[in-house]
Amino acid sequence: MAKVVFDHVTRIYPGNTEPSVSDLNLDIQDGEFLVLVGPSGCGKSTTLRMLAGLEEVNKGKIFIGDKDVTTMQPKDRDIAMVFQNYALYPHMTVADNMGFALKIAGTPKAEIRKRVEEAAKILDLTEFLDRKPKALSGGQRQRVAMGRAIVRKPKVFLMDEPLSNLDAKLRVQTRTQIAALQRQLGVTTLYVTHDQTEALTMGDRIAVIKLGILQQVGAPTELYDKPANVFVAGFIGSPSMNINTHPVVNGRAKIGSDTIDLDPVAVDKLTEEDKGCIVVGFRPEDASLAAPDDANAFSLKVQNVEDLGSDGYIYGDIITDGSVAEAAATMSDQNKLTTIRVNPRQLPKIGDTVKIKIDPSKMHLFSPATEMRLN
């Protein structure tokens, strides 16, 4: 096992002026499961490939354990990769696929068989060892690819979106298996995904990256409860956080034709660059239906409702002076509509106007100029 350290690592692809990964500082502790998450093209796979030795590092250093591996060949780094594509040899059995790397390395046959059988037992593949990949389901093939990595007993596992080829139900099942397996083996793991649900459910810690720049690293609850900036707030959580920019009037946020209380400490941190506005964020579960005369609530015109049995969601437009406001800066799952989770037995009807109250202790406030957290 080994700790992994990215020390001011930068990667600029030939022909590009902007780095794909810029000045990355990241420590992955010995035995930790770290998930690197971000939208497409943000530099997460480049980071993984630099650690694997498949991409050149332009600046900075990478360490595995106490060894500087920055210029080391991939084969000498003692890592094992699992890709989105299973990349199994179709003419070989499951056992031969799993033991192939050991065979190339000249490991004795008895030792190969022993390690393959151990891995197969962990992965529930014992009865499939003599089958060819074409006789397996997608989830089983992915487990064979995992097994091939496990038998190598590497210092570090690198996983690049290994579940994206699986259907939704199988993805949830395999996700649980991978997380349990990593805890059982205790191997330091860097797992790359664009799926924030995967990140929240699997990782000991999550690192969020945007346009090659690391935004925040922390435990899943930390990123969910205290996002460092607007990007992390909008990216982590499903349904996503409601985020909108509002004018500040006498220390209160003007939402549509209503005003609500703000944390005075956060308001004091606003600067001239913020132009008298504040970014208010709140999660759908941190707001509730309020009484019509509640002075600390805002009006919402209901455009859509969802009854999921255990949960209910309403989607609506903020009302300004009797008309519906255009929520220009909102980030939401439903076309700029504000999302609120409600008791499914108390769902309003489409077209209703309701009052919404935000839990003040769960409100997220950001600077419009810097997009950094204020409270």
Query: What angle in degrees, to the nearest 10, is found between the helix axes of 94-104 and 109-123?
Result: 130
pLDDT on residue 321: 63
| Shared-domain flag, residues 22 and 43 | yes
Query: Does the pLDDT at position 370 exceed 90?
Result: yes
Query: Does the pLDDT at position 323 exceed 80?
Result: no
Domain-located, residue 275: yes
Q: Which CATH number do you get for residue 342?
A: 2.40.50.140
| Shared-domain flag, residues 39 and 152 | yes
* Last residue of one domain, picked from the residues 209, 234, 259: 234
Q: Dump pLDDT digits (tens) for 235-287.
A: 998 889 999 999 999 999 999 889 999 999 999 999 999 999 999 999 999 99
| Shared-domain flag, residues 271 and 208 | no
What SS3 string covers 323-369? EECCCCCCECCCCCCEEEEECHHHCCCCCCEEEEEECHHHCEEECCC
Domain-located, residue 244: yes
Domain count, the chain: 2
Range of the domain at 96: 4-234
| Shared-domain flag, residues 17 and 40 | yes
Q: Dump pLDDT digits (tens) for 98-128.
A: 999 889 888 899 999 999 998 898 888 899 9
Q: Dump pLDDT digits (tens) for 212-233.
A: 999 999 999 999 999 999 999 9
Question: Quick check: 259 and 253 in contact, CB under 8 A?
Answer: yes
Residue 181: which H helix or E strand, with range?
helix 168-185
pLDDT on residue 1: 67
pLDDT on residue 327: 45
Rounded-to-integer distance, Cα 148 and Cα 102, Å: 9
Question: Is 254 or 83 the better-scoring residue by pLDDT?
Answer: 254
* Six-digit token string for 80: 């094992």
| Shared-domain flag, residues 229 and 319 | no
Q: Dump pLDDT digits (tens) for 23-82.
A: 999 999 999 999 999 999 999 999 999 999 999 999 999 999 989 999 999 989 999 988
Domain-located, residue 27: yes
Looking up tokens 């969910």, which residue turns up?
Answer: 224
DSSP state of 74: G
Q: Closest Cα partner for 6 from 56, 63, 65, 78?
A: 63
Q: Dump pLDDT digits (tens) for 141-156.
A: 888 988 888 888 899 9
Domain-located, residue 374: no
pTM: 0.88
What average pLDDT does this structure show over 136-145?
86
pLDDT on residue 305: 94
* Last residue of one domain, picked from the residues 234, 257, 281: 234
Domain-located, residue 375: no
Rounded-to-integer distance, Cα 68 and Cα 10, Å: 16
| Shared-domain flag, residues 16 and 157 | yes
Conformation bin of residue 52: beta by default, left when phi > 0, alpha when psi is -120 to 50: alpha
Domain-located, residue 128: yes
Mean pLDDT of the chain: 90
* Last residue of one domain, picked from the residues 234, 254, 271: 234
For residue 87, which phi and psi values (nearest 5 degrees)?
A: 50, 50
